[in-house]
């Protein structure tokens, strides 16, 4: 008998050593992260809205911890999603709407969970989050399945591209759930119904309809989880990546300004067994805190590189205490060449660091309509000092070269193509106090972004007229130069397209899409040698982009390089 017991003990130890994921799987909760694109906090019933747009979210709120004052770290989908999934500030994760790859060394939620035995899957409704097409390179790390819409519309950067309705995204996720096989899973669903960035119409009725559609899709998902007996024991986090301006402060959609319309977002955390159900946290929290919360609940060690803290601990220990909340947008600098913006929320104040500083008392002035920068200089100085101290933790980012991140071989290839004296940029923390203030140019941003939406809607002629005016007034505006070049290529005006794409590459030589569009245009003119060089540069950052491989294969065939052409065809097939 003793010998049998001893054998069983040894066997148990061997199983736990050799199969650690299996031994812990029984206690690991399933994790569902739902990000709702562009959903404003003031559209949520559980946060006081009476328009009835979110019945399913409101029902879920009764079973969740409600965070009344959650703040995004960026008003953009790619950057904010990187913060949510990595638990790091934008300065650390370096994500960008213009295709900057997510660092492979960055702690990443799906990667950490898969290492602990989780099955991992992402179902996203926006091509802006598709790593294969170069919008969000590196985001598929750690995912067994990454399902994004096939990019079948014009690729213009800045978030425009193919989208799937929320009900279709939910249906794909539900189909995946049916084959999960009993192992714990991490499921990320991104619903983009409310996102107005690629629509020329920014009316409130369309926006509200999008919020309601996303809510309905969430309702279908929750119903499926309940039917499969997966709801009760799961951890669910429902959050908006950012909000939507809808004309507030002059901004049509989102991406530039850091006021509450785009930074204050809804956040729910439904714990396993509905722990802390109905608890309302009034203190200010950050989306930075989501990844540590998930890891702690799953029993996974939180990497020291993560910069947030557990939301559950906040809810249990000090739910009414405010954290200072930081946000930034580099999009105005990267896309338009203006100043970047930073914001700092502390106490009742919002401080925005810009060439024309802004200070608001959000208790007395929740709409941030009365700038106190000139009348409350002591408060302004105190908050500015706090932000300066915060920024100092990330080092001096000032005066980055436009060629930052390019390898020596890429630099040599660019030089051989005639790109010399590439421009300096100031995409840094302190760039927010120099250059053109986006407040002065928001009408231009609206026109350019609406032009991108026109292209996405299949109306390049309308866009060309607007973009030609924009580049005539401001030749160093990358996004306008790139979009104009690509729109002209759509109209088969290749010589003109090449001129504008050349300028776009001068401004952002690391832009894979500018390189691709240039290569595609040169193919049409018969310059296969130069086209191949640009396509090779594009594929450094778009290694899974099928169309680029096929075009490069075509170039190699025309150049008599049959072996290389065959390799590119094989890559396209894979």
- Least Cα distance to 189 among 29, 32, 28, 31 occurs for 32
pLDDT of residue 150: 63
Close Cβ partners of 12 (under 8 Å, ≥ 6 residues apart)? none
- Dig out the tokens for 458 from the structure: 């299949």
Average pLDDT over residues 71-99: 95
Instruction: Tell me the mean pLDDT in the region 521-527.
Output: 97
Q: Which of 1-15, 23-37, 38-52, 361-375 has the lowest mean pLDDT?
A: 1-15
Q: Between 357 and 459, whose confidence is greater?
A: 357
Q: Which of 57, 46, 93 is nearest to 74 (CA)?
A: 93
The residue-averaged pLDDT of 187-209 equals 84
Q: What per-residue string of b and e applies to 532-544 under the rule 16 or more CB within 10 Å gives b? A: bbbbbbbbbbbeb
Q: What is the mean pLDDT of the chain?
A: 89
Specify the pLDDT at position 476. Answer: 95
How far apart are alpha carbons 141 and 326 in whole angstroms?
A: 26
Identify the band that residue 155 occupies on the pLDDT scale cut at 50, 70 and 90: low
- pLDDT band at residue 20 using 50, 70 and 90 as cut-offs: very low
31-36 sheet: strands from edge to edge: 145-147, 119-124, 185-191, 31-36, 235-240, 264-270, 65-71, 280-286
pLDDT surpassing 60 at residue 360? yes
Which pair of structure tokens corresponds to residue 57? 């979210």
Q: Which residues contact 90 (CB under 8 A, 6 or more apart)?
A: 73, 74, 79, 82, 83, 328, 330
CA pair distance 368, 261, nearest whole angstrom = 10
Task: Name the helix (H) or strand (E) containing 382.
Answer: helix 377-392
Asked whether residue 120 carries a pLDDT value surpassing 70, the answer given is yes
Distance CA 192, CA 206 (A): 13
Say whether pLDDT at 171 is over 90.
Answer: yes
Domains delineated in the chain: 31-300 (3.40.720.10), 339-392 (3.30.1120.10)
- What's the pLDDT score for residue 532? 97
Strands of the 325-329 sheet, one edge to the other: 325-329, 341-346, 349-353, 358-361
What is the per-residue pLDDT for 423? Answer: 52
Q: Looking at the predicted structure, is the pLDDT value of residue 160 above 70?
A: no
Give the residue, 313 or 27, on which the prediction is more confident.
Answer: 313
Pick the residue with more confidence: 474 or 158? 474
pLDDT of 15 reads: 39
| pLDDT-wise least confident of 114-118, 134-138, 187-191, 246-250 | 134-138
- Whether the CB-CB separation of 123 and 188 falls below 8 Å is answered with yes
Q: Which helix (H) or strand (E) holds 260?
A: helix 260-263
Distance separating alpha carbons of residues 441 and 250, to the nearest angstrom: 10
Output the six-digit token pair for 92: 């650390």
Q: Which residues contact 492 (CB under 8 A, 6 or more apart)?
A: 524
* Cα 335 to Cα 347: distance, rounded to the nearest angstrom: 32
Strands of 3-161, DSSP E? 31-36, 65-71, 119-124, 145-147
Q: Are strands 349-353 and 358-361 parallel, antiparallel or unpaired?
A: antiparallel
- Range of lowest pLDDT (76-85, 200-209, 236-245): 200-209
pLDDT > 50? residue 140: yes
Give SS3 for 164: coil
Contact 79, 304 (CB under 8 A): no
Does residue 431 surpass a pLDDT of 80?
A: no
Cα 315 from Cα 289, distance rounded (Å): 12
Backbone angles phi, psi at 65, to 5 degrees: -85, 125
Per-residue pLDDT reduced to its tens digit, 206-218:
999 999 999 999 9
Please give the Cα distance from 471 to 478 (Å, whole number): 9
* Terminal Cα distance for the chain, rounded: 57
Task: Kindly tell me if the per-residue pLDDT of 125 is higher than 80.
Answer: yes
147: nearest Cα among 135, 159, 131, 161: 131
* pLDDT band per the 50, 70, 90 thresholds, residue 421: low
pLDDT tier for residue 161 given thresholds of 50, 70 and 90: low
Give residue-wise pLDDT tens across range 302-318.
999 999 999 999 999 99
- Using the predicted structure, report yes or no on whether residue 370 has a pLDDT greater than 90: yes
Q: Quick one: pLDDT at residue 198?
A: 63
Q: Give SS3 for 307.
A: coil
Rounded mean pLDDT of 495-524?
A: 95
Find which of 128-137, 395-404, 531-540 is predicted with most confidence, using mean pLDDT: 531-540
Give the distance, in angstroms, between the CA of residue 167 and the centroid of all CA atoms in the same chain: 21
pLDDT-wise least confident of 72-81, 358-367, 387-396: 387-396
Q: Which residue has the higher pLDDT, 395 or 437?
A: 437
Give me the pLDDT at residue 13, please.
39
Q: Please tell me what DSSP assigns to residue 325.
A: E
Q: Are strands 145-147 and 119-124 parallel, antiparallel or unpaired?
A: parallel
């Amino acid at each position: 008998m003793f010998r049998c017991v001893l054998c069983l003990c040894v066997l148990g130890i061997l199983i736990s050593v050799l199969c650690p994921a299996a031994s812990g799987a029984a206690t690991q909760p399933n994790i569902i992260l739902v990000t709702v694109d562009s959903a404003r906090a003031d559209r949520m019933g559980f946060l006081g809205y009476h328009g009835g747009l979110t019945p399913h979210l409101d029902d879920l709120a009764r079973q969740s911890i409600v965070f009344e004052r959650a703040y995004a770290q960026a008003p953009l989908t790619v950057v904010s999603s990187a913060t949510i999934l990595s638990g790091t500030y934008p300065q650390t994760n370096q994500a960008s709407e213009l295709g900057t790859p997510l660092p492979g060394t960055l702690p990443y939620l799906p990667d950490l969970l898969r290492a602990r035995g989780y099955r991992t899957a992402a179902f996203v409704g926006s091509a802006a989050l598709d790593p294969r097409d170069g919008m969000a390179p590196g985001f598929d790390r750690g995912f067994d399945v990454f399902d994004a819409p096939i990019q079948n519309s014009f690729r213009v950067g800045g978030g425009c591209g193919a989208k799937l309705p929320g009900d279709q995204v939910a249906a794909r996720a539900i189909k995946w759930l049916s084959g999960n096989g009993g192992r714990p899973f991490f499921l990320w669903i991104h619903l983009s119904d409310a996102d107005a960035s690629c629509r020329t119409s920014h009316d409130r009725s369309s926006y509200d309809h999008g919020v309601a559609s996303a809510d309905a899709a969430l309702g279908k998902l929750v119903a499926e989880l309940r039917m499969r007996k997966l709801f009760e024991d799961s951890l669910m986090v429902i959050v908006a990546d950012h909000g939507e301006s809808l004309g507030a402060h002059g901004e049509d959609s989102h991406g530039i300004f850091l006021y509450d319309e785009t930074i204050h977002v809804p956040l729910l955390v439904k714990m396993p067994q509905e722990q802390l159900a109905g608890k309302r946290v009034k203190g200010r929290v950050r989306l930075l805190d989501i990844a540590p919360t998930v890891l702690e609940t799953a029993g996974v060690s939180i990497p020291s590189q993560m910069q947030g803290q557990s939301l559950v601990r906040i809810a249990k220990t000090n739910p009414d205490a405010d954290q200072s909340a930081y946000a930034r947008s580099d999009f105005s600098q990267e896309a338009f060449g203006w100043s970047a913006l930073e914001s700092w929320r502390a106490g009742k104040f919002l401080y925005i660091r810009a060439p024309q500083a802004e200070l608001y008392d959000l208790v007395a002035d929740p709409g941030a309509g009365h700038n106190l920068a000139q009348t409350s200089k002591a408060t302004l100085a105190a908050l500015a000092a706090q932000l300066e101290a915060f920024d100092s933790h990330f080092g001096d980012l000032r005066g980055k070269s436009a060629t930052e991140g390019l390898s020596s071989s890429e630099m040599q290839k660019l030089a051989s193509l005639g790109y010399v004296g590439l421009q300096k940029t100031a995409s840094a923390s302190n760039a927010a106090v120099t250059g053109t203030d986006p407040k002065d140019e928001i009408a231009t941003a609206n026109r350019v972004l609406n032009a991108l939406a026109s292209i996405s809607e299949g109306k390049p002629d309308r866009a060309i007229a607007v973009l030609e005016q924009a580049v005539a007034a401001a030749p160093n505006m990358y996004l306008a130069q790139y979009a104009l070049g690509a729109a002209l290529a759509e109209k088969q005006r290749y010589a003109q397209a090449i001129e504008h794409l050349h300028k776009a590459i001068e401004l952002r030589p690391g832009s894979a899409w500018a390189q691709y569009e240039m290569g595609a245009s040169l193919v049409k003119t018969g310059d296969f040698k130069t086209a191949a060089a640009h396509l090779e540069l594009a594929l450094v950052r778009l290694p899974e982009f099928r169309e680029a491989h096929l075009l490069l294969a075509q170039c190699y065939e025309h150049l008599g390089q049959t072996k290389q052409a065959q390799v590119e065809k094989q890559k396209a097939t894979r």
